[in-house]
């Protein structure tokens, strides 16, 4: 099965729903879209099995669809690459994407924002287009094609956040998301240009053709000839540091890191399944994927990784605190996503790429499940999102309750659920880091533990506030009902993932069962470039004592935080845990004061220039000719003799000139 089919199926679904969707009856567009993603998942699965059947050092399938552009030495193919890393991502995208499509069929059935169902087909069309672009992003074999997917998912995110475009908050949020992403995209583009300048290609890997015929990709150059990047250094920054920093800014925009994260909480204005798919499970992890893909570059730049890990830790900590302060069920999850993305970047910063990707993998399950569970609650309560009005839903919504609890435990990092292993692996990776700036990494690891505790705290609080205790709004509670099975089946499947996905990557410790499939699968991608200590950091195996300690501490704080959070949630149902001023670090206010006000002042100044100088020149020219011609008009006297005199005098002057200049 060719790889391009993975992209083609959802694209076909998009075309069908986009062109004919308006004529199809509910829920046919949803079924078409879901089937398209399922087909895509099957193709992906078959291809991954084919990949797994190859010998370990040759696991790389490349397929070229066609040459996109070829200018001189610069050539970009639309070609797809499936290796261990992209196989994990593509399975997550199509697999979880399929479950969320399925859920959406139920969720969007009765849309109170769109009672006539005019937008229904559009929703599924965009969701399909998103899957297609996301597949391009992870399957691309060069940075430019990845950028196509990168921009495409940003576009679909814009469409879907603003899906209910008649609601002002949704329209504003979609614009905000798009514009903030542009900042990151700009940096990504610059980084890509510098990569091209220094290596002459944008492919990840070259072709290993016959001797003398072999070409090198960007990552090959990074491994064999690190000096190639020094040419593009700028103002004291080494070339590789500059490139990786630009790439990281790009990743920070897409993956909502400080200071570019403020769009993600606002993005919750979109439909809840969209938040689950795009703003939790897949698109926002694209930045992590990009950094992991470029690991060979980041390995060369310890300074950049220090910045990444500090940014990641700060994001994780502050977003976690913010999640504790919010009362909107989706906002809590949104900040939690930002926080978990911070964890993933901590893994990248520590060189624990496998742990970061592992967290992407487990996070996709439990966070998608939490979002869909929240969607189920919102669905049952007719659009109510304020957790202060919930409570006591345990008995009414059994399936949602159990799945939410299981995935909540996974998020909290309670052993032995999925999030426990992946989060702990990251913290262990940071703790065991043994390169430059060693001591800072130790502090970061402690910050990670604190953040893990906060995570457990707000997750427990949220669960208790929504499902436990007594109903705080009788009216809402009376009308609550369990969602249809088209919605609960995906919940169950995701909850199973949230419970057991962690078992794919147990830590390498003596006495632990030999379940390291995930780590073993990914090791070849990263081990060839990382030196021994980093490879070990990825698995946390070279310091078993510390790793074991961290595991135990992690398990304790996971459960402790969960129970403390629960009592907090039931006890202080209505009161906020933290003052409202912590809602989003006031970063929005800062941006308003600097960029928005500054932009307005600048545009006012430019407008003055336009009104007075540019228009002055233009109108002045017009006015000048107006004046001159109204003066000259008076010569049109209607007396033929005057005209004749003009001609005679003119002729006389010309003849006189000829005579003088003879």
Partner 1 sequence: MPTSYYLVISAMLFTIGVLGVLVRRNAIIIFMCVEMMLNAANLAFVAAARDLKLMSGQVFVFFVMTVAAAEVAVGLAIIVALFRNRATIDVDEVNLLKY
Interacting residues toward partner 1 by CB under 8 A: 633-634, 636-641, 644-645, 648
Closer residue to partner 1 (CB): 512 or 645:
645
Q: How far is the CB of 605 from partner 1 (least distance, A)?
A: 44
CB 347 within 8 A of CB 290: no
3-state secondary structure 173-234: HHHHHHHHHHHHHHHHHHHHHHHHHHHCCCECCCCCCCCCCCCCCHHHHHHHCHHHHHHHCE
Closer residue to partner 1 (CB): 601 or 645:
645
Closer residue to partner 1 (CB): 605 or 648:
648
Closer residue to partner 1 (CB): 512 or 651:
651
Q: How far is the CB of 640 from partner 1 (least distance, A)?
A: 5
Q: How far is the CB of 602 from partner 1 (least distance, A)?
A: 48
Of 341, 546, 334, 531, the C-alpha closest to 432 is: 546
Closer residue to partner 1 (CB): 475 or 641:
641
Q: How far is the CB of 155 from partner 1 (least distance, A)?
A: 60
Q: How far is the CB of 657 from partner 1 (least distance, A)?
A: 18
Closer residue to partner 1 (CB): 19 or 652:
652
Q: How far is the CB of 643 from partner 1 (least distance, A)?
A: 10
Q: How far is the CB of 623 from partner 1 (least distance, A)?
A: 19
Q: How far is the CB of 647 from partner 1 (least distance, A)?
A: 9
Could you give the count of Cα atoms lying within 13 Å of 259 in the half-sphere of its Cβ?
A: 8
Contacts of 391 (CB under 8 A, 6+ apart): 465, 466, 467, 468, 469, 470, 471, 472, 473, 477, 573
- Considering Cα of 644, then 645, then 647, then 651, what sign does the dihedral take? positive
Tokens representing 409 are 């435990």
Closer residue to partner 1 (CB): 53 or 635:
635
CB 105 within 8 A of CB 30: yes
Closer residue to partner 1 (CB): 612 or 642:
642
CB 46 within 8 A of CB 61: no
Q: How far is the CB of 630 from partner 1 (least distance, A)?
A: 9
CA 74/CA 72 separation, integer angstroms? 5
Q: How far is the CB of 650 from partner 1 (least distance, A)?
A: 12
Closer residue to partner 1 (CB): 211 or 634:
634
- Reduce the DSSP state of residue 79 to 3 states and report it: strand
CB 353 within 8 A of CB 521: no
Q: Strands 74-82, 61-71: parallel, antiparallel or unpaired by DSSP?
A: antiparallel
Give φ, ψ of 655 to 5 degrees.
Answer: -65, -40
Strand partners, 234: 237
Tokens representing 444 are 């970061």
Closer residue to partner 1 (CB): 49 or 645:
645
610 DSSP assignment:
I
Q: How far is the CB of 661 from partner 1 (least distance, A)?
A: 21
Write out the H or E segment, with its range, that includes residue 360: helix 353-380
CA 250/CA 241 separation, integer angstroms? 14
CA 385/CA 387 separation, integer angstroms? 6
Apex CA 187: angle with CA 181 and CA 193, to 5°?
135
Closer residue to partner 1 (CB): 213 or 638:
638
- CB burial string 172-194: b at 16+ within 10 A, e below: ebbebbbebbebbbebbbbbbeb
Closer residue to partner 1 (CB): 514 or 635:
635
Q: How far is the CB of 158 from partner 1 (least distance, A)?
A: 59
- Reduce the DSSP state of residue 62 to 3 states and report it: strand
CA 218/CA 69 separation, integer angstroms? 18
Tokens representing 363 are 């996070």
CA 181/CA 230 separation, integer angstroms? 28
């Amino acid at each position: 099965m060719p790889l391009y089919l993975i992209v083609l199926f959802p694209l076909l679904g998009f075309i069908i729903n986009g062109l004919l969707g308006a004529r199809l009856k509910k829920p046919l567009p949803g079924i078409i879209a879901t089937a398209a993603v399922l087909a895509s998942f099957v193709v992906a699965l078959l291809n991954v099995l084919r990949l797994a059947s190859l010998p370990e050092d040759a696991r790389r399938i490349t397929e070229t669809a066609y040459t996109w552009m070829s200018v001189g030495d610069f050539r970009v193919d639309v070609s797809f690459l499936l290796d261990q890393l992209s196989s994990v991502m593509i399975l997550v995208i199509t697999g979880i994407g399929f479950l969320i499509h399925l859920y959406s069929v139920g969720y969007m059935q009765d849309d109170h924002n769109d009672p006539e169902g005019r937008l229904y087909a559009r929703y599924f069309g965009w969701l399909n287009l998103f899957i297609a672009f996301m597949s391009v992003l992870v399957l691309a074999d060069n940075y430019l094609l990845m950028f196509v997917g990168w921009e495409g998912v940003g576009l679909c995110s814009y469409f879907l956040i603003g899906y209910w475009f008649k609601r002002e908050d949704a329209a504003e949020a979609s614009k905000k998301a798009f514009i903030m992403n542009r900042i990151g995209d700009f940096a990504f583009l610059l980084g890509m240009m510098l990569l091209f300048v220094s290596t002459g290609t944008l492919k990840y890997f070259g072709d290993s053709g016959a001797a003398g015929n072999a070409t090198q990709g960007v990552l090959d150059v990074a491994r064999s000839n690190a000096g190639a990047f020094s040419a593009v250094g700028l103002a004291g920054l080494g070339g590789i540091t500059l490139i990786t920093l630009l790439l990281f800014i790009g990743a920070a925009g897409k993956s909502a890191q400080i200071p570019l994260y403020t769009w993600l909480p606002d993005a919750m204005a979109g439909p809840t399944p969209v938040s689950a798919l795009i703003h939790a499970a897949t698109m926002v992890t694209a930045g992590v994927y990009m950094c992991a893909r470029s690991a060979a570059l980041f390995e060369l730049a310890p300074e950049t990784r220090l910045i990444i890990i500090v940014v990641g830790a700060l994001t994780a900590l502050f977003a976690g605190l913010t999640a504790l302060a919010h009362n909107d069920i989706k906002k809590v999850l949104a900040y939690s996503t930002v926080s978990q993305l911070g964890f993933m970047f901590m893994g990248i910063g520590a060189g624990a790429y496998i742990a970061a990707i592992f967290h992407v993998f487990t996070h996709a399950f439990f966070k998608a499940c939490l979002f869909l569970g929240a969607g189920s609650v919102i669905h049952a309560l007719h659009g109510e999102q304020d957790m202060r009005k919930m409570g006591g839903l345990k008995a009414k919504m059994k399936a949602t309750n159990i799945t939410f609890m299981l995935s909540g435990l996974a998020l909290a990092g309670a052993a032995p659920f999925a999030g426990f292993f992946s989060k702990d692996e990251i913290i262990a990776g940071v703790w065991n880091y043994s390169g430059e700036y060693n001591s800072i990494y130790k502090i970061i690891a402690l910050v990670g533990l604190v953040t893990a505790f906060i995570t457990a705290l707000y997750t427990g609080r949220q669960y208790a506030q929504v499902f436990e205790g007594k109903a705080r709004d009788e009216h809402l509670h009376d009308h609550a009902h369990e969602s249809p099975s088209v919605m609960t089946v995906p919940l169950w499947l995701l909850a199973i993932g949230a419970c057991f996905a962690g078992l794919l990557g147990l830590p390498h410790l003596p006495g632990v069962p030999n379940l390291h499939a995930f780590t073993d699968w990914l090791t070849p991608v990263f081990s060839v470039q990382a030196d021994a200590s980093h490879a070990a950091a990825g698995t946390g195996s070279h310091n078993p004592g510390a790793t074991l300690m961290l595991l135990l501490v992690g398990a304790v704080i996971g459960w402790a935080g969960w129970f403390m959070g629960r009592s907090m949630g039931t006890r202080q149902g209505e009161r906020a845990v933290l003052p409202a001023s912590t809602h989003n670090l006031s970063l929005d206010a800062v941006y308003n004061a600097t960029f928005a006000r500054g932009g307005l002042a600048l545009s006012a100044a430019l407008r003055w220039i336009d009104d007075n100088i540019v228009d002055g020149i233009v109108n002045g020219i017009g006015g000048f000719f107006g004046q001159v011609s109204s003066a000259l008009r008076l010569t049109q006297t209607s007396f033929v003799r005057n005209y004749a005199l003009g001609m005679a005098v003119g002729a006389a002057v010309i003849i006189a000139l000829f005579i003088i200049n003879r």
